[in-house]
Structure 1
């Protein structure tokens, strides 16, 4: 379950039960009660009670099996979707009911909501504190008379988009209707026949259609400043008049009458949130928001900064174009609201964990570059994550020539097992060698162009110009992950510059 929805669950027991199911579903072997308790930071007694309660609420063909002196194992039939099981338990959260009500324009007092949910008004007020904290991230507030989300209409739409889009696999989540999808399909077809550039993800665009059309239906309209530079630029585009006519006509065909020009502008600008960065984007090698001097600045900026990364051989001008197009899209979206820069918590965590070196370089670049200190660039961490993903698609994975040598001590079964794991976890472009009965020397390492020396025992003397990794007797998942990141996320030269001085002092053994 994603963090946004998990944080909206206030009941502590409910949260623990979801965590237990998530833990057990990711394990192929039984987990000891102590292990589960440690993961949840609760007592063994509390965990045992949660496991007992879960047995009563799990569906048929899904059960937690207690194995004497071994632990607990979650077993389920192939027909059971564990994500839906978790979501079914989570839908008991009162805040989910309230958010769905607000999306459907159900406006009533806190007292009325408390009566409907069969809880005290005092308890509901306590629950709503969680909701208020989440809304702060979107620059929104919660009024209590009546209970309603207040703030910029663009930010309200962004909140609902994050809430529904990132819960798209949950059975209780609202998803785009056939009508929402038909609107998107009709606009796509009309744009293509009119030769208006369209490079969008249909599913993501359908969620935006759902949010926008719902808000229009209930009379909540976007108001854009006339002096908004992006709005002015959009209105100057050669295809704008035709695009406006198409959108207005199709919305009228679907019974959305009197749609304002501000809404049409919002649809056209927010569409950049669903842009697909593929080779087809090169067919439209034009930027339509930035002035010539800004494009020239960004060309020089990316030409300089991309040189830091191990970029694949190819057309650097095309790679620079993709990066400029990305910045232009977020520049345009940020003039609707800086909230468009926000990623999900899970996306940021995944990229920062798996590409730490590329991410750290981008966040450092953005924090030092005057251009990104302007008011609209409020969420540099999220921008750096997106740049990390974009840049990584153009970098040499494994750097092709990286050479890792394993010198490990253990029985023959262990050594064969490590060899198997290494080939499973390390990119195939990396050269891997194993030494079992050969003396290591400076000359041998140099002759064989070794970059990383992995060993689980002390090696003397230390060697120059090689990253020496002293891992645990049985290398941990963290150590394997570090090795993989080093070869995936750094050029050979940078890897040596960064880690050679810390050889044998990278891991705490």
Structure 2
């Protein structure tokens, strides 16, 4: 959707990005080269940016060494990302017609402070951008047209990215009431805040309620009985009576809220998931494919078993919706910037490449097995949810790969040994476990029955064991720590490589998990 951002705004944002990331002053010549612009153009842009930054309480400083950016600590690049939406006539047009579908050419031109000719060119750009998401723009009056689910996905993405968490652009949707409803549902289902993104979720359902108020509804895929629906309606009205009266919401408004909230079972309800799995063979296969992948990865990487029910639930929901509306761009969870997902995926791909590739390969296999269209957007979305919502995954993988067990032996008394362990634990990372060797006498035969990677001693030992022995010299702790850190790195690399070979050996026995 960068086609809806002017070249000038894109260039100014790029300049800010370079200045924001730079640790040293940046020359104007460098900025001109990186933005494919002239030095004069960059100077003009910097003059405009200086005014913007000054208004925020920051400063763009010029020195003989170059240009540097100083921002207040509470301001990040996400602020400037949102400004791109606010200054884009294309996004402004899309927001205007979301809230009001009665505008004609002359009214839009006036609201956007543009000419009829410029508006025509803008409409062509917007229509082309919408086509990527399976949508179109109709005119006289203007509105976005297409599959209602895709329209809702589109605008939910827009509002979540264009507005900050403390902004509320929906005049006809009560933020307090919607927040109350979400909290009630979350409490009812006893959900952890790790399982949902509250602000994105609230924006999404504000979009759904706004659309419903205009008379747009989605045909329910999973229809319940009239008795069940009536029971749910009565419970909703009773639960919301006090707050709805306080906010002066009409009965008609409450009915619209209810019509959308009943679909939240698709996001939250575990019994609903189990019901779908029992009644739908395709959903059951998806569920078991995801469960098999998680079980296999847990076993092969020797990480703790955890409850993955809601993770599988969300992965299943993504594919269920994708099977109904397989438009590639509609499954990106961003329009302009994907910093969080990209950062997480890059981190896992670089730090845990085997784990990452197994998961990716398995998701591709699942998509192919169900004859679903393969594209990077859906694979990245599955991976992002899988890696970010697997409880404690990053920590567990680090522990699995980096963990070392170090035995500490001292010929001194127990408290002295504890003192040494306390010092070691304060100096080295949490993935190294230091344990006291309980045997008063030490010999190779006794050590052969113990599981450890390094032995630290307070006395020189003349024994032969497979593990390295390290003498900790108490009168030169700094030197000892430096040498011990080198030993840790060496042992860690050996252990990491051995573990990698063991994993690859196990993978070779399972064709569907093999990595090239």
- Once the two structures are TM-superposed, the CA of residue 153 in structure 1 deviates from its matched residue by 2.0
**Which whole-Å CA distance do the structure 1 matches of 2:103 and 2:66 have between them?**
48
Larger Rg: 2
Partner of 1:208: 204
- Once the two structures are TM-superposed, the CA of residue 39 in structure 1 deviates from its matched residue by 3.2
- Once the two structures are TM-superposed, the CA of residue 494 in structure 1 deviates from its matched residue by 6.8
Q: Give the conservation status (yes or no) of the 8 Å contact 1:184–1:206.
A: yes
Map 1:217-228; keep pairs closer than 5 Å. 217=213, 219-224=214-219, 228=221
Q: Give the conservation status (yes or no) of the 8 Å contact 1:184–1:209.
A: no
Task: Please give the root-mean-square deviation of Cα atoms over the aligned residues, in Å.
Answer: 4.6
- Once the two structures are TM-superposed, the CA of residue 156 in structure 1 deviates from its matched residue by 1.4
Map 1:338-353; keep pairs closer than 5 Å. 338=326, 341-344=331-334, 346=338, 347-353=340-346
Q: Give the conservation status (yes or no) of the 8 Å contact 2:283–2:316.
A: no
Partner of 2:459: none
2:262 corresponds to 1:244 = no
2:462 corresponds to 1:492 = no
**Which whole-Å CA distance do the structure 2 matches of 1:67 and 1:297 have between them?**
63
* Pair 1:104–1:121, CA change in 2 (3 A): same
Partner of 2:313: 325
Map 1:381-420; keep pairs closer than 5 Å. 381-391=380-390, 393-394=392-393, 396-402=396-402
**Which whole-Å CA distance do the structure 1 matches of 2:84 and 2:253 have between them?**
42
**Which whole-Å CA distance do the structure 2 matches of 1:389 and 1:26 have between them?**
25
Q: Give the conservation status (yes or no) of the 8 Å contact 2:27–2:67.
A: yes
* Pair 1:240–1:371, CA change in 2 (3 A): farther
Partner of 1:354: 347
* Pair 1:167–1:270, CA change in 2 (3 A): farther
11-20 or 47-56, which deviates more? 47-56
- Once the two structures are TM-superposed, the CA of residue 102 in structure 1 deviates from its matched residue by 1.1
Partner of 1:142: 137
- Once the two structures are TM-superposed, the CA of residue 44 in structure 1 deviates from its matched residue by 3.3
- Once the two structures are TM-superposed, the CA of residue 15 in structure 1 deviates from its matched residue by 1.7
* Pair 1:203–1:92, CA change in 2 (3 A): closer
* Pair 1:247–1:84, CA change in 2 (3 A): same
Within the candidate set 353, 358, 361, 1:364 is matched to 361
Cα deviation 1:287-346 (Å, max 9, x = unaligned): 232117667645653454332465554446x34x34432333335544774577542351
**Which whole-Å CA distance do the structure 1 matches of 2:390 and 2:21 have between them?**
31
Partner of 1:67: 63
**Which whole-Å CA distance do the structure 1 matches of 2:324 and 2:251 have between them?**
23
TM-score normalized with structure 1 length: 0.64
Partner of 1:96: 91
2:274 corresponds to 1:287 = yes
- Once the two structures are TM-superposed, the CA of residue 207 in structure 1 deviates from its matched residue by 1.7
Within the candidate set 11, 24, 29, 1:16 is matched to 11
- Once the two structures are TM-superposed, the CA of residue 162 in structure 1 deviates from its matched residue by 0.6
- Once the two structures are TM-superposed, the CA of residue 12 in structure 1 deviates from its matched residue by 1.1
SS at match of 1:161: helix
Map 1:97-176; keep pairs closer than 5 Å. 97-169=92-164, 174=169
- Once the two structures are TM-superposed, the CA of residue 75 in structure 1 deviates from its matched residue by 2.5
**Which whole-Å CA distance do the structure 1 matches of 2:159 and 2:191 have between them?**
24
SS at match of 2:62: strand
TM-score normalized with structure 2 length: 0.63
**Which whole-Å CA distance do the structure 2 matches of 1:101 and 1:296 have between them?**
42
SS at match of 1:149: strand
Q: Give the conservation status (yes or no) of the 8 Å contact 1:31–1:71.
A: yes
144-153 or 247-256, which deviates more? 247-256
Partner of 2:370: 373
Q: Give the conservation status (yes or no) of the 8 Å contact 1:138–1:158.
A: no
Q: Give the conservation status (yes or no) of the 8 Å contact 1:334–1:377.
A: no
* Pair 1:298–1:171, CA change in 2 (3 A): closer
- Once the two structures are TM-superposed, the CA of residue 373 in structure 1 deviates from its matched residue by 2.6
* Pair 1:294–1:143, CA change in 2 (3 A): closer
Within the candidate set 18, 32, 43, 1:37 is matched to 32
Within the candidate set 263, 269, 283, 1:269 is matched to 263
Partner of 1:440: none
**Which whole-Å CA distance do the structure 1 matches of 2:90 and 2:100 have between them?**
15
* Pair 1:429–1:167, CA change in 2 (3 A): farther
* Pair 1:403–1:196, CA change in 2 (3 A): closer
**Which whole-Å CA distance do the structure 1 matches of 2:384 and 2:373 have between them?**
17
Q: Give the conservation status (yes or no) of the 8 Å contact 2:109–2:115.
A: yes
Within the candidate set 181, 186, 193, 2:176 is matched to 181
- Once the two structures are TM-superposed, the CA of residue 73 in structure 1 deviates from its matched residue by 0.9
- Once the two structures are TM-superposed, the CA of residue 151 in structure 1 deviates from its matched residue by 0.9
Q: Give the conservation status (yes or no) of the 8 Å contact 1:37–1:44.
A: yes
